[in-house]
Chains A and B, each alone.
Chain A
Amino acid sequence: MKKSFLFKLKEGFIESLVFISGNLAILIVFLIVFFLFKEGIGLFNQQPLEEGTAIMLNPTNPIKELKPEEIKQIFEKEIRNWKDLGGKDEPIVLFTLSDVDRLFTLEELGSSFEYLPSKIGEYIMNNPGVIAVFPEKYLPPKIKKFHMKNISLKDFVGGKEWHPTATPAVQLGVLPIILGSLLVSLGAILFSLPIGLAVAVYLSELAPKNVHQVLKPTIELLAGIPSVVFGYLGLALLVPFVADFFDLPVGETALSGSILLGIISLPTIITLSEDAMKSTPSELKEASYALGANKWQTISRVIIPYAKSGIISASLLGIGRAIGETMAVIMVTGNAAVIPYLLDYEGHFKNPFYASVRTITATIASELGEAPQGGIHYQALFMLGCILFIITFIMNLIAEGLNLKKR
């Protein structure tokens, strides 16, 4: 009996679903990349300014360029003269909404501030040293907005200050945040790699069967605990302990983050390194014993070298896990966006692990909720997401490549 046409149609339909689902992963990764960049890339077409504000200078002012940190210094009165910025010797006059009542009477402004723009214009024209910052809707008719240079990738990645909501000029330097992530993850791996390797060696070469049967599931259990639970335990127990033990004013430090992330990445490192060591061919081990090596010599000179690429790959995945971890670090690292310098102001060494740091993940998680959609802060957070994605993607690729080489 031949299979009916309808039957073939049904199977064809199901098989096309199989085909589509099978290739969906590719589409999803593509979509993730696309949407992260789509939301983030607009950042580089923007001036580092608070949404909807305009900066204006007197037309005779020769200054062509102002950096966000210079604007910040002007507003904090650290810079008081244009000559400090390479301009004429002219004191800087700040002019913002808060000066309006002082300078003009209500009659001059009109009942619904309809004359405000022209008054602003007049004031700017009359004061050669003025720098005016107003909402765009009060832009005076004849005066051109001062154009700040668009944010560049260099300013973004290399910038040392992260003040995404500063007024009027935002500062979007993510260097301290990237360094924060790297520092915490580095600490994590320093902590978890030796322990993880020791446990992996024990599991793969030394543990009696019944111990293995208990220890292995225990480690899987550890892998299963949600990261927010780790975060909370870290906050409630580890942070006070670190403050006490290291005699620090606050326990919310890179160190706490590293310890916690170290614990979280332990199962990854243990499981993958154990697999790598277990794949050592038994002929190699036997050859080593046959030459009179004892167990430890065999482990250190045959098994570990053989499993090297697997162990490196495990460490990379462990670091990747640590860099990508959000909830645990957000609760214990203190979230200060400052560069973890090795030296203090007087040039003495200071341990960066004792400082509060903020990671990429914690920044995104704690700020995205308040950043208006499509705004400059929002775009910057998505750009941070892109950076995180790229870092972990590269690590995964290398780890994968190392694994493939072995097989």
Chain B
Amino acid sequence: MFKIDAQEVNLFYGKMHALKNVSMQVEANEIVALIGPSGCGKSTFLRTINRMNDLIYGVKINGNIKIDDNNIYSNKVDVNELRKNVGMVFQKPTVFQKSIFDNVAYGLRVNGITKSSVVKEKVEKALVQAALWDEVKDNLKKSGLALSGGQQQRLCIARTIAVEPNVILMDEPTSALDPISTSKVEELLLELKKEYTIIIVTHNMQQAARVSDKTAFFYVGELIEYDKTPKIFKNASIELTQNYVGGKFG
């Protein structure tokens, strides 16, 4: 059984056909990288996995996506519950105007976990996992916005894992960071992989090569090729893929 199983997903923004028959399977504890020129539908596909596209006016989706064999587009699914189980990290750090502690505790609290001892324990655990604990443990009350960009992104990751999701989606999580912060986040990804299944959109080929197990190449709404990362980067079976990873366009 696959962790995530997308079958023939088609998505329309109004009349614009943004995803065309995309099928993709992801196994548990894998990191999958999504690559492709901008505007090809990577973010759109990512957002179908936690039904974030539901929030956009005029979006139509058909096809099937299963997580742990449950169809997430079925009427019975509680969308909030689904989104809790499928965490998401964005390109720019989205730190709320709250203290570091309250940022991480946010997801717990909105999900009804309010007992302070439990919250405290889970916040600490998440910050440790996100490799941020040592840097912030003495000023948890400080505003999250006072942290550096790299720290903010790790705070966002901590906040995501605090609610203990199954899957983490990341949309270019390091493109706004400096190289040192980027490598810290990459290390963190390899660490998190032990517990989570991760799908990451990236513009950075080296990053995809460094961290992912599989790579999916998107082009104008279609999934062109999806295979083990070394195969995609060394001998892709489709010329378009070879050209893209070889830097001939993009």
Contacts and interface: CB of A to CB of B under 8 A. Distances in A.
Q: Is the interface of B mostly helix, strand, loop or mixed?
A: loop
A7 B112 CA distance: 10
Contacts of B81: 2
Contacts of A1: 111-113
Nearest to A4: B112
Interface string B100-129: 000000000001110000000000000000
A9 to B, nearest CB: 15
A153 to B, nearest CB: 46
A405 interface: no
Nearest to B113: A1
Nearest to B80: A3
B178 interface: no
A3 B81 CA distance: 8
Interface residues of A, number: 5
A323 to B, nearest CB: 39
B134 interface: no
A319 B78 CA distance: 54
A291 to B, nearest CB: 36
Interface in A1-47: 1-4, 7
Nearest to B81: A2
Interface residues of B, number: 6
Contacts of B112: 1, 3-4, 7
A4 B112 CA distance: 9
A68 to B, nearest CB: 60
Contacts of B80: 3
Interface string B164-203: 0000000000000000000000000000000000000000
Contacts of B113: 1
B112 to A, nearest CB: 5
Contacts of A3: 78, 80, 112
Interface in A148-207: none
B111 to A, nearest CB: 6
Contacts of B78: 2-3
Contacts of A7: 112
Nearest to B111: A1
Interface in B36-91: 78, 80-81
A274 to B, nearest CB: 32
A36 B111 CA distance: 50
A3 B80 CA distance: 9
A3 B79 CA distance: 11
A1 B111 CA distance: 7
A32 B173 CA distance: 53
A4 B110 CA distance: 12
Interface string A67-92: 00000000000000000000000000
B139 to A, nearest CB: 30
A3 B78 CA distance: 9
Contacts of A4: 112
A2 B113 CA distance: 11
B89 to A, nearest CB: 22
A4 B81 CA distance: 12
A82 B17 CA distance: 86
A228 B29 CA distance: 72
A204 B47 CA distance: 42
Nearest to B78: A2
A16 B111 CA distance: 22
A184 B103 CA distance: 59
Contacts of B111: 1
A198 to B, nearest CB: 43
Contacts of A2: 78, 81
A192 to B, nearest CB: 42
Nearest to A7: B112
A334 to B, nearest CB: 56
B219 to A, nearest CB: 33
B186 to A, nearest CB: 32
A7 B114 CA distance: 14
A3 B113 CA distance: 11
B113 to A, nearest CB: 7
Nearest to B84: A1
A141 B91 CA distance: 92
A250 B81 CA distance: 77
A2 B80 CA distance: 9
A4 B113 CA distance: 12
A34 B230 CA distance: 74
B84 to A, nearest CB: 9
A4 B111 CA distance: 10
A263 B113 CA distance: 59
A2 B110 CA distance: 11
B109 to A, nearest CB: 12
B202 to A, nearest CB: 33
A3 B109 CA distance: 12
B163 to A, nearest CB: 10
Nearest to B110: A3
Question: Of B78, B80, B112, which is in contact with the most chain A CB atoms at under 10 Å from its CB?
Answer: B112
A1 B114 CA distance: 12
A53 to B, nearest CB: 64
A353 B112 CA distance: 71
A2 B82 CA distance: 10
A7 B78 CA distance: 14
A2 to B, nearest CB: 6
Given A1-B111, A3-B78, 8 more contacts: A1-B112, A1-B113, A2-B78, A2-B81, A3-B80, A3-B112, A4-B112, A7-B112
10 contacts: A1-B111, A1-B112, A1-B113, A2-B78, A2-B81, A3-B78, A3-B80, A3-B112, A4-B112, A7-B112
Interface of A: 1-4, 7
Nearest first, the 4 closest Cβ-Cβ pairs linking A and B are A1-B112, A1-B111, A2-B78, A2-B81
